[in-house]
Amino acid sequence: MKRALVYGLGVAGEATARALLRRGVEVIAADDDATPERRAVAEDLNLELIERPGQRDLELLIRSSDVVSPAPGVPETHEVILKSQERGVELMSEIELAYRWEQQRPGRPRPMLAVTGTDGKTTTTLLTVEILRAAGLRSVDAGNTSTPLVDAIEQDLDVFVVECTSFRLAWTPTFRAEAAVWLNLAPDHLNWHRSMATYEAAKARVFINQRPADCAIGFVDDDAVMGQVDLAPGRHVSFGLSGADYYLKDDEYLKADGVERGGILTGPLGAIASTMSMRRSLPHDITNALASSALVMESGLAGPDAITEALTTFTGPPHRLEHVGTWGEIAWFNDSKATTPHAAAAAIHSFDHIVLIAGGYDKGVDLASMATEPDRVDRVIALGATAPAVVEAFGSVAEIDLVVDIPAAIERARDVAQPGSTVLLSPGCASFDQYKSFDLRGDHFRSLVLSAHGDPQPDHSLQQDIPASPIPGGSS
């Protein structure tokens, strides 16, 4: 490779351009939105930043390049993608470039674990990293994180855990992970992909290049995911609350005093950890823990002791069912990361008597799946560009208020929530109609809630402070 076109100089694009330059590759940089920050990056790299190249210029740029590396924000319908495919110029995401360079590492390449899915990727990736660290291995969360994989491979590490979005997987001709987990599949990013079929096909690339000894792991209750696991060339493993290779086992040991305390995460080799070791054990917390357990155990990188140690301290990233506080027996949760109806539905499944704050940027996804458990939702507060769609989804199952923004939603929630209620910000939509990111939306929600209420009451209902009980035949 002598010359590469990097299209888009955001976080991933900048890291890709720098990595290519470090390896002596000539870089051409182009962008549809040449912000001052991106111009500054180009200047720092001594590159000309070509803004919105016309059709003829774009064809010349592609024709003169050996590789085109599109930033994650460049959709598969973009002219740079279509013309690269027409010309037969290889498209490579930053994880594909990083993988190829890692294969050339003196000595041997280091193992890679991969996590994909519509929802839950970040939490599962971070938990897997914590387990590996508890096992004494140097690891980092890479890919769709603050550390692009092209930067991670420059670090002194033992193993990589790669969070793989469909945006990155779409352009990975050779990327391979020794163990890869696919958490779920639900409609999302249909403003980026041409169809649900191309979205699923991009996700399926997480398994395509595996070898027979590698492991393809899927969520047992998702038929689409398990259909793709069945096609994977590696070993096939499942996880889920029941009926899977990695599952939650009820155990009389934990009920000896007549009190339901939880269950035991269990794999093909037996007990792994008690849910009593988890700081929070909602249903999706358990399935995420089972997915991470399968990744590290099937790859032979960690065992039950490391899993238990990590689960004891792992709190998860912010904006994922983050408990902001409880006041007057009303609990407030920030689930701003729930940018899909599938994620919002999972959050709704975790509570009863919900005052739901939902709505945001329209990604072209049907919101009806958010309203599949009407008995759990007492009231909906709809906001944002998708407020009419939220009303349509919940109109027959709950009382609904329409508000302008997050501050108004919080004010209305304070008026209508009763003791025993859960006020849940779980938008089911992206944030781009009012915020630059879900993080900023969640930060704003949290700060307003805390400002309105003051110091929260102690609430241990979702957190286990009891040491994990020893499990016969397992770890303690």
Concatenated DSSP letters of 144-199: SSSS-HHHHTTS--SEEEEE--HHHHTT-SS---SEEEE----S--TTTSSSHHHH
Q: pTM here?
A: 0.81
Say what the pLDDT of residue 281 is.
Answer: 86
- All CATH 3.40.1190.10 domain ranges of the chain, comma separated, are 97-313
- All CATH 3.40.50.720 domain ranges of the chain, comma separated, are 3-91
CATH topology of domain 3-91: Rossmann fold (3.40.50)
The domain 322-453 is classified under which CATH number: 3.10.290.10, 1.10.10.10, 3.40.50.300, 3.90.190.20?
A: 3.90.190.20
> 87-101 in b/e burial notation, b at 16+ Cβ within 10 A?
eebbbbbbbbbbbbb
Bridge partners (DSSP) of residue 7 are 30, 70
Say what the pLDDT of residue 462 is.
Answer: 47
Q: What is the pLDDT along the chain (476 residues), one digit of tens a residue?
A: 999 999 999 999 999 999 999 999 999 999 999 999 999 999 999 999 999 999 999 999 999 999 999 999 999 999 999 999 999 999 999 999 999 999 999 999 999 999 999 989 999 999 999 999 999 999 999 999 889 999 999 999 999 999 999 999 999 999 999 999 999 998 888 888 999 999 999 999 999 999 999 999 999 999 999 999 999 999 999 999 999 999 999 865 444 454 455 799 999 999 999 999 898 888 889 999 999 999 999 999 999 999 999 999 998 888 888 999 999 999 999 999 899 898 899 899 889 999 999 999 988 888 998 999 989 999 999 999 999 999 999 988 779 999 999 999 999 999 999 999 999 999 999 998 999 999 999 999 999 999 999 776 554 444 433 233 323 233 22
Residue 361: name the closest of 440, 450, 284 by CA.
Answer: 440
Task: Locate 118 and state its tokens.
Answer: 């519509």
CA–CA gap between residue 416 and residue 275 (Å, rounded) = 34
Bridge partners (DSSP) of residue 264 are 249, 274
In degrees to the nearest 10, what's the CA dihedral of 211, 215, 218, 220? 120
Say what the pLDDT of residue 100 is.
Answer: 98
Say what the pLDDT of residue 167 is.
Answer: 93
- Full strand arrangement of the beta sheet holding 26-31: 49-51, 26-31, 3-7, 67-70, 90-91
CA–CA gap between residue 388 and residue 380 (Å, rounded) = 12
Say what the pLDDT of residue 72 is.
Answer: 93
CATH 3.40.1190.10 fits 97-313, yes or no: yes
- All CATH 3.90.190.20 domain ranges of the chain, comma separated, are 322-453
